[in-house]
Structure 1
């Protein structure tokens, strides 16, 4: 089914930005809980080897994001799904799993392809209005960078003109790099082996997405095919090596696309699904147990960042970074995201479009080792959300409830696209809240992990373990809420909100009865 998006004029945005169609940069970071960003003022955060710490030396420093949050706004309670694939499905479709059928990593609704083979039901079929499409179909240049979590064989169907993809979805083995974990049988047992060194290493098969990464390009002007491996020229192959950093490549190609799109007089929508925040095997330091490989060294001077060009020598698992790569730790990766947001700002100033561009920064689920995949209270779903748009009414902290599903209708309204009235969207546009005196946004949030459902209002929360919590106040660690065990002792306000939440989530509770595409029949016991 093709759902056409019709252009509309948005009076709410009149005077809010200088462009009739503002540029939008949406950065969707990976596995970062709200508590990791200093603006959320948690008294604990994640240490390099997983677990909690209150050591200031292991705290991220984010001066650029802090300023964006102060001059724009930051959302106290933003929810995603508990893990990446369903969260990205929520972001890209504006819908919950009862419609798109991506219930959890490895737990997807099934359908059949044209050859009658059983497949994961693609999002472009379950939910034909996609995040990229709402911008693309009203004349935007659209670019997707980083981790897709989608198979790449039909990636153009998601509404993006071009892209640069690093592993996190289907990617062809890249002959330019041996930074790959492969599965082998040794003495009859399956073991993971680091191809670079030939030694055991890693916990699952993967290609590198940080240092010397596997890379594919979508529709790049220099390539004849829709999808090509990179590096793809003698010059780029000669400069590629263990010093090559995937997040830097993403910015290089994004900026090239911004230049070319701006020269054509078109607005752009950048969907930057960074790997930063995600744990990984460290090919440069295979013995390191820090979980989050280091980044190029950066320094904040008070006025801007100074970046040290990475220098890496060695081979076969033995490398010297010559002091140009940080130690491991999620705080270093968050710091590098802050550096990239500074790079974005500089690029916008260079192009003269800073006042015509909206920036959104968020993440897909909680931190690995703390929140990722976790149904306890809001550990898995509570993510950072910062929005900056010239001329918006709201500033600083906003104690409201926002779902990642709200991003699609928000982007649609910002770019001037109309979603058909008979097409179900679970998200709600933030535009009225951001650009008017509207005091609130929504009064409940919903999320899921397979058959388990989570929901919260302003006063109470039901987690995925069917426990209830008092969320009327925010604890110092952002999660140690008071558990509710005796509803007879709670106020009528709390009891009424509980009743309302149970009623709200009931229509979404279709895991047991409508797990797959409508055309797919299964008894859910493996007897298809």
Structure 2
């Protein structure tokens, strides 16, 4: 413990010696993108255009000159882990904790609690973990903005500690501020002739394929502002000014809107000479309903604006989309479909970030962190198999700081490590009785320390995934030898014969098995604090669900017997 405290002290001294001002921090979280999709990770396999199979087609390979620069001139982590799906990963990142504390076990298994008004509801992170990433930035004296996807059920977003917010929600209805009057790019569940149908409100037609109720976060996006200077309310739909209403339309692209608001915020804070924290939770990487081309629903990743890298800079083709009511012509102004197009557009946005930092003359006092929340859709997302769902990119870039690590780092990093790292950067110290499961990267980044942590952890519901430097246990209870990386970053040899396995593998397996019981609390502690009445209700509801499930299985079995 004394050694760790000394390293943290040295790390803090190192940063203070380099800068008299606190560093600005930009954290970009991509959505559903595995490490293998980024060329810097040197995988020989990536996602196909539709995501339904693996590909080695060079035409479907992303091109990322800017992220490559960040990774090589800054540093990137060979093995960074998240959870296997959105909500629990974001909970891990925002709290620095695992689900035995924050209770966000999976997208559909978020713990419940009895709120202060006696109502039963989803256990919010600000209740389970009052020192979230926004609160820590505020306590460190930072101005902060959260822009993009919230994945926090879009309720009480003002309680997460951020000064401002620009949210592009995918939910079809946000009751807090009423319906969006600007965009009809929405799929809504309606009753037609007594039957439930999913209607595309833009065309007025029901879908002839399976999908879910959602609103657009890409083209003609739904955008909600929080505490913005242009707004008279705490929450307000955008466009909200005469100019923005005139310019808004089908050519408006959600990721561009998110970044425009971020740059406006950065300009204001740079002018005020105040340190800022940007939490940019982009949708890029996430599949979506293609309102421009509904018939192309088999393509998971819809088109982005077309961009070209030439002579060290990006050139963007202005989107030229015409039409309406479900019939549109893009006039060849957009990219092709595929996750590689989304990764390319992320690279373009990272270039815009670097250009903006130079323009504001704060590039040497800003730290940029780039990562993702879980593996690619149809490949890793939701998968507990090996590290398909957990293996994500992680890059850190701070050209004005004399960090001791450059380029590829063969170490282990968890998304839970981001919060304590930011706490060190902003000068905030957690109370001694406040449990943090993440580990600050600052000692590793500022000293000659060769390793960062001994193990990384992932999860989904009651499935636990853990790996060290030698072995990995996945959520299917399979063990792998991970001493060497395979060319596709995933095909590790499975360890089946433990009696004849190497002693070093057995030793680490036993060590990791000793860690897991501490976090394995899904069955007995899935929820937050509950009233007695709500405890009984949850037990009763679970019994009903189980009975319903058994009845379905019995009915299916009976049908098979009749056949």
User: Any idea what the Cα deviations from partners look like across 1:409-466, whole Å, max 9, x if unmatched?
Assistant: 0000011111112110000000111111111000111111001111111111110011
Q: Offset at 1:235? A: 2.2
Query: Alignment partner for residue 225 of structure 1, among 224, 230, 233?
Result: 233
| Alpha-carbon RMSD | 1.5
Q: Secondary structure at the match of 1:479?
A: coil
Q: Does the 8 Å contact 2:148/2:280 carry over to 1?
A: yes
CA distance 1:55–1:526, shift in 2 (3 Å):
farther
Which runs of structure 2 are paired with 1:352-363 in the superposition (5 Å)? Answer: 352-363=361-372
User: Any idea what the Cα deviations from partners look like across 1:313-348, whole Å, max 9, x if unmatched?
Assistant: 000111111121112111011100000000000000
Q: Does the 8 Å contact 1:89/1:100 carry over to 2?
A: yes
Q: In structure 1, how many angstroms separate the alpha carbons of the residues matched to 2:387 and 2:116?
A: 40
**Match of 2:502?**
491
Which runs of structure 2 are paired with 1:192-231 in the superposition (5 Å)? Answer: 192-201=198-207, 203-231=211-239
**Match of 2:289?**
281
1:177 correspondence with 2:183: yes
Q: In structure 2, how many angstroms separate the alpha carbons of the residues matched to 1:10 and 1:115?
A: 42
Q: Secondary structure at the match of 1:153?
A: coil
**Match of 2:353?**
344
1:73 correspondence with 2:75: yes
Structure (1/2) with the larger helix percentage: 2
Q: Does the 8 Å contact 2:141/2:426 carry over to 1?
A: no
Q: Offset at 1:234? A: 2.6
Q: Offset at 1:291? A: 1.2
1:83 correspondence with 2:85: yes
Q: In structure 1, how many angstroms separate the alpha carbons of the residues matched to 2:540 and 2:484?
A: 45
Which runs of structure 2 are paired with 1:453-468 in the superposition (5 Å)? Answer: 453-468=464-479
Q: In structure 2, how many angstroms separate the alpha carbons of the residues matched to 1:381 and 1:437?
A: 28
1:191 correspondence with 2:197: yes
Query: Mean Cα displacement is larger for which, 146-155 or 361-370?
Result: 146-155
Which runs of structure 2 are paired with 1:296-335 in the superposition (5 Å)? Answer: 296-335=305-344
Q: In structure 2, how many angstroms separate the alpha carbons of the residues matched to 1:487 and 1:185?
A: 57
Query: Alignment partner for residue 253 of structure 1, among 233, 258, 261?
Result: 261
**Match of 2:44?**
43
1:25 correspondence with 2:26: yes
**Match of 1:503?**
514
**Match of 2:492?**
481
Q: Secondary structure at the match of 2:345?
A: helix
Query: Mean Cα displacement is larger for which, 184-193 or 422-431?
Result: 184-193
Q: Does the 8 Å contact 1:362/1:386 carry over to 2?
A: yes
Q: Does the 8 Å contact 1:164/1:217 carry over to 2?
A: yes
Q: Offset at 1:224? A: 1.3
Query: Larger Rg: 1 or 2?
Result: 2
TM-score, structure 2 normalization: 0.90
| Runs of 4+ off more than 4 Å | none
Q: In structure 2, how many angstroms separate the alpha carbons of the residues matched to 1:270 and 1:276?
A: 17
Q: Does the 8 Å contact 2:375/2:389 carry over to 1?
A: yes
Q: In structure 2, how many angstroms separate the alpha carbons of the residues matched to 1:76 and 1:59?
A: 19
Q: Offset at 1:188? A: 4.5
Q: Does the 8 Å contact 1:12/1:431 carry over to 2?
A: no
Q: Secondary structure at the match of 2:350?
A: helix
Q: In structure 1, how many angstroms separate the alpha carbons of the residues matched to 2:444 and 2:540?
A: 46
Q: Offset at 1:186? A: 3.8
Query: Alignment partner for residue 300 of structure 2, among 282, 291, 296?
Result: 291
CA distance 1:260–1:186, shift in 2 (3 Å):
same
Query: Mean Cα displacement is larger for which, 202-211 or 370-379?
Result: 202-211
Q: In structure 1, how many angstroms separate the alpha carbons of the residues matched to 2:20 and 2:214?
A: 42
**Match of 2:98?**
96
Q: In structure 2, how many angstroms separate the alpha carbons of the residues matched to 1:217 and 1:269?
A: 17
TM-score, structure 1 normalization: 0.96
Q: In structure 2, how many angstroms separate the alpha carbons of the residues matched to 1:38 and 1:62?
A: 7
Query: Alignment partner for residue 132 of structure 1, among 121, 131, 134?
Result: 134
Which runs of structure 2 are paired with 1:341-420 in the superposition (5 Å)? Answer: 341-390=350-399, 391-420=402-431
Query: Alignment partner for residue 462 of structure 2, among 423, 434, 451?
Result: 451
**Match of 1:157?**
159
Q: Secondary structure at the match of 2:202?
A: coil
Q: In structure 1, how many angstroms separate the alpha carbons of the residues matched to 2:128 and 2:243?
A: 42
User: Any idea what the Cα deviations from partners look like across 1:50-73, whole Å, max 9, x if unmatched?
Assistant: 121100100110000000000001
**Match of 1:116?**
118
Query: Alignment partner for residue 424 of structure 1, among 422, 435, 449?
Result: 435
Q: In structure 1, how many angstroms separate the alpha carbons of the residues matched to 2:541 and 2:247?
A: 52
Q: Secondary structure at the match of 2:206?
A: coil
CA distance 1:520–1:430, shift in 2 (3 Å):
farther
Q: In structure 1, how many angstroms separate the alpha carbons of the residues matched to 2:408 and 2:479?
A: 26
Q: Offset at 1:492? A: 1.1
CA distance 1:329–1:527, shift in 2 (3 Å):
closer
Query: Alignment partner for residue 235 of structure 1, among 228, 240, 243?
Result: 243
Q: Does the 8 Å contact 2:154/2:169 carry over to 1?
A: no
**Match of 1:4?**
none
Q: In structure 2, how many angstroms separate the alpha carbons of the residues matched to 1:65 and 1:379?
A: 22
Q: Offset at 1:136? A: 1.1
**Match of 2:63?**
61
5+ long unaligned stretches in structure 1:
1-7
